[in-house]
Amino acid sequence: MRRQFICLGLSIILLAGCSGRNSRGVSLKFVDALDLPCAVDSLDELVAPQTALAVGEYESAAFLLETGEPLNQEPISLKGLPADMSVEIHRVAPYRRKLRGEREITSPYLLERSYTVSAAAGDKAVYYLTFKTGAQTPPGDYPLELSLAGASAALTLKVRPFKLYEDPDIFYGAFCGARDVDITPAQLADLAQRGFDALQFFWGSVSVGLANVDDSLAIDFTTVDRWMEDFRKAGMAGPVVWSMGNDHRSHLENRLAGLFNLSRKKPETIDGKTLDFADIHNPRLNSLLKQVFLAIRDHAKEKGWPEIVFIIYDEPTERLMAEHEDRYRLLKSFWPELRIYGVTMDRIEWAAAISHMVDIFVANGDFDKISALADSTGKPFWLYGSGSSRNAAALRHSYAWTPWAHRAKGVWFWAYNYGNGDPYDDFDGSLAESSASMVWPPRTPGDPPVYSVSWEGMREAADDMRYITTLEYLLKNSQSSRAGEIRAELEKIRASVPQGRMEQVLGGEAQDRVQVLEGRKYVVGLREKVAGWIEELLKEEKEPFGPVRL
C-alpha cells in the first residue's frame, strides 16, 4: 500500500502578497522546517523560499499560518504545480513531550493529514507540504503560489534533472518495539518508500511460536511467515535482526526455561541492574536453543526469508561478557554462517573486548577508532543512535553525513514505535513515547499512520545519503579530468564533517548519547554542493549513467 497523494488543481484565484496579513487577518509565510520541533514563535520566515528535489524524490516545505478571524474548512490551494507532481499536506499538531528532569514542552510535532483549515481567531499553526515528483515531471524551476482564505505566499519548486542512485551496499534500519505483526503493511510500505530495508526486534516481539507439547518443543512459523511475506511485498530487502536478550535479561532462554520448567540463574545485581537469566549452562536448555536456531535456519532457507542476523545480548559490555561469549561459541558450533550483531556502544575498549565474539561492529560513538578496528578485522561496521524528538538538521548530520564520513554500511536508529499505555500520552507510564517513537498508530482504525517531524527528518537523512552515493556512482564510472577534481573535493568534505559534542538522549541511559552541533545546518549547503556536482558531471559526460540520467 503506497502513501496516497493528491494533485491539487492549477486554476486557483490568488490575491497578491507574500506573507502580510490580509483583510481577514490571515497570513502565510514559509519557515525553515529544520528548526522543528520548536516553539511556533521561534520560527523565522524564509527569504526567497525554495524546495528542490530530484525526480522520484519526496521533499517537504513548511509554512506558518496565523489567523485573525475564525476559519471553517477553508481549503489549502496551490497554483503552478508541474505535470506529474503530487503533494500531501499535514498540519504539524502540537504534542506535549516529556523531557529529562520532569520537565515538559509542547510544540508542533505530529503530522496530521489536512487539506482544509479550521481554526480559532488568533491561532498559529505549522503545516507541511510534501512534494513528490513522478517519472514524467519535467526538470526546471516552478514558481508556486500557496493560498488560503485570501492570503498567499510564494515558493519556488526546483525539479533537478536526475534520479537518485540506490547503493545496494548501504541500508537503513529501525529498532521496533511492538510485535512484528503490529508493524502494518501501510507502515512497511512507508518504511520502504523512505529507504528503510531492515527492522530489529527483541525476542518478545518476534512471532515465532514456541510451545511445550508432551515435553517436546513445537515451533510454529505460520504467523512470522505471513509477516515476512508482507515485508517482502513492501519491497524491503533486510536484514531482519532478532535479539535473544538485552543487557540484563535473556528473553529467549527465559521463554524456553519457562516452557519446560528449567532452572533459572539466581538474581544478581550488577552495575545497577538485576539479572533476569535462565541457567545458560543447563544442557536441556541448550539443546532446546539449538533446536530453535536450526529450525529458523532451515525454515528461512526454505521460504526465502531475508537474512536473519542475531543479537545475543544487547549492550553486553557492562555485565554480560562471559555469557555473551558462551552463547557465541554455542551458536557458531552448529550455525557458523550466522552473523552476530555486536553492540559496542561508544567506546573502543568495549569494541576491542567483544571483537572475538561478534561478526559486525555496531557503534553509537568513538566512530573513528571502532571503524578502524572493523577494517583491521575484516568485519562490517554499522552505526546506530537515537532519532526520536530530534530535528531534521541533527538527524541528517547523525544518520547521513556521519555514517558516510566513517564508511558505515548499515545505519540504525532508536526507535520506530516503542510505547506503553496511551501512545499519545508521554506521561502515563515509565516510557515517554516521544523518546522512543517516530511513528504513532492511526487515531482512527484504518487511517494512515501518524508521522512526526523527526520521521520526516529521517527521510531527509536517507535522501542525503542517496545524493552522496549518486555522486560516488558517477565518479566511479566517469573518465573526465573534472571527476578527479570533484573526487578530491569530496574527500575533503568527508574529513571535515564535524564531530559535535556528545549528549545523553531523552529516555536513554548514560551510554545512550548522540552528537549535538551548533552549526548543524551545514547539511543544507553540502547537499546543494553534491547536487551541483551531479548536474555538472551529467552535462560533461556522455556515459548513459542509466540509474541517474533521465
Is 104 in contact with 141 (CB distance < 8 Å)?
no
Percentage above 90 pLDDT, the chain: 82
Inside any domain, residue 141: yes
CA distances from 219 to 114, 226, 432 (A): 46, 15, 35
pLDDT at residue number 238: 98
CA distances from 227 to 3, 184, 199, 343, 531 (A): 20, 9, 12, 26, 38
Segment 2-39, tens digit of pLDDT: 344 444 433 223 333 345 677 788 999 999 999 899 99
Do 150 and 217 fall within a single domain? Answer: no
Cα distance between residue 108 and residue 94, in whole Å? 4
pLDDT at residue number 499: 82
* CA of residue 254 relative to chain centroid, distance: 31
Percentage above 70 pLDDT, the chain: 93
Do 155 and 229 fall within a single domain? Answer: no
For residue 487 the three cell numbers come to: 573526487
Q: Is 53 helix (H, G, I), strand (E, B) or coil?
A: strand
Segment 373-424, tens digit of pLDDT: 999 999 999 999 988 888 999 999 999 999 999 999 999 999 999 888 899 9
Supply the DSSP string of 34-92, one letter for each residue: GG-SS-GGGPPBPSS-EEEEEET-EEEEEEEEE-SS-EEEEEPEEE-PPTTEEEEEEEE
Picking from 161, 176, 194, the residue at the C-terminal end of a domain is: 161
Cα distance between residue 223 and residue 207, in whole Å? 6
Backbone angles phi, psi at 40, to 5 degrees: -55, -40
Picking from 127, 146, 161, the residue at the C-terminal end of a domain is: 161
* CA of residue 406 relative to chain centroid, distance: 18
Do 197 and 119 fall within a single domain? Answer: no
**pLDDT tier for residue 513 given thresholds of 50, 70 and 90:** low
Q: What integer is the mean pLDDT of 165-177? A: 96
Inside any domain, residue 437: no
Inside any domain, residue 394: no
pLDDT value at 535 more than 70: yes
Average pLDDT, the chain: 92
Cα distance between residue 308 and residue 198, in whole Å? 10
pLDDT at residue number 9: 34
Report which residue type is found at 181.
V
Nearest to 391 by CA among 133, 38, 103: 38
Backbone angles phi, psi at 127, to 5 degrees: -130, 150
Is 58 in contact with 132 (CB distance < 8 Å)?
yes
Nearest to 536 by CA among 99, 160, 75, 7: 160
Do 152 and 192 fall within a single domain? Answer: no
Do 208 and 153 fall within a single domain? Answer: no
Q: Order of strands across the sheet with 451-452?
A: 27-31, 58-66, 124-133, 85-98, 104-113, 451-452
Picking from 339, 374, 389, the residue at the C-terminal end of a domain is: 339
**pLDDT tier for residue 177 given thresholds of 50, 70 and 90:** confident
Which CATH number belongs to the domain containing residue 112 in this structure?
2.60.40.10
**pLDDT tier for residue 515 given thresholds of 50, 70 and 90:** low
Nearest to 481 by CA among 538, 537, 530, 527: 537
Do 115 and 220 fall within a single domain? Answer: no
Report which residue type is found at 253.
E
Cα distance between residue 498 and residue 515, in whole Å? 9
pLDDT at residue number 504: 62
What b/e string do you get for 194-221 counting C-beta neighbours within 10 Å, with b at 16 or more? bbbbbbbbbbebbbbebeeeeeebeeeb
pLDDT at residue number 6: 42
Backbone angles phi, psi at 110, to 5 degrees: -95, 140
Cα distance between residue 389 and residue 36, in whole Å? 9
Q: Structural domain of residue 262, as residue ranges?
A: 186-339
Cα distance between residue 499 and residue 517, in whole Å? 8
For residue 234, cis peptide bond before it (omega within 30 degrees of 0)? no
Cα distance between residue 462 and residue 455, in whole Å? 11
* CA of residue 499 relative to chain centroid, distance: 20
Inside any domain, residue 171: no
Angle (CA) 125 433 524, round 5°? 55
Inside any domain, residue 487: no
CA distances from 72 to 69, 143, 149 (A): 10, 28, 10
pLDDT value at 108 more than 70: yes
For cell 504539524, the residue is 92
Segment 445-471, tens digit of pLDDT: 888 899 999 999 999 999 999 999 999
Do 105 and 44 fall within a single domain? Answer: yes
Segment 193-215, tens digit of pLDDT: 999 999 999 999 999 999 999 99
Supply the DSSP string of 320-364, one letter for each residue: -HHHHHHHHHHHHHH-TT--BEEEEET-HHHHHHHGGG-SEEEES
Do 41 and 89 fall within a single domain? Answer: yes
Do 154 and 199 fall within a single domain? Answer: no
For residue 446 the three cell numbers come to: 484504518
Do 193 and 155 fall within a single domain? Answer: no
Inside any domain, residue 59: yes
Do 216 and 109 fall within a single domain? Answer: no
Is 357 in contact with 323 (CB distance < 8 Å)?
no
Cα dihedral angle (373, 472, 467, 389), rounded to 10 degrees?
A: 0
pLDDT at residue number 431: 84
Cα distance between residue 409 and residue 360, in whole Å? 11
pLDDT value at 49 more than 60: yes
Segment 485-512, tens digit of pLDDT: 999 999 999 999 988 766 665 555 555 5
Q: Give how many domains the chain has, as a whole number.
A: 2
List, in order, residues 6 or more apart from 499 with CB less than 8 Å away.
515
Do 190 and 148 fall within a single domain? Answer: no
Cα distance between residue 526 and residue 508, in whole Å? 30
Which of 46-50, 99-103, 266-270, 506-510 is least confident? 506-510
Torsion sign (Cα): 376, 382, 387, 391 = positive
Cα distance between residue 366 and residue 363, in whole Å? 7
Inside any domain, residue 310: yes
For residue 70, cis peptide bond before it (omega within 30 degrees of 0)? no
Q: What secondary structure letter does DSSP report for 120?
A: -
pLDDT value at 72 more than 60: yes
Inside any domain, residue 89: yes
Backbone angles phi, psi at 454, to 5 degrees: -65, -35
List, in order, residues 6 or more apart from 4 with CB less than 8 Å away.
88, 448
Backbone angles phi, psi at 85, to 5 degrees: -115, 135
pLDDT at residue number 502: 63
Cα dihedral angle (390, 391, 394, 400), rounded to 10 degrees?
A: 100
Nearest to 188 by CA among 451, 2, 389, 59: 2
List, in order, residues 6 or more apart from 444 with CB less than 8 Å away.
none
Segment 298-328, tens digit of pLDDT: 999 999 999 999 999 999 998 999 999 999 9
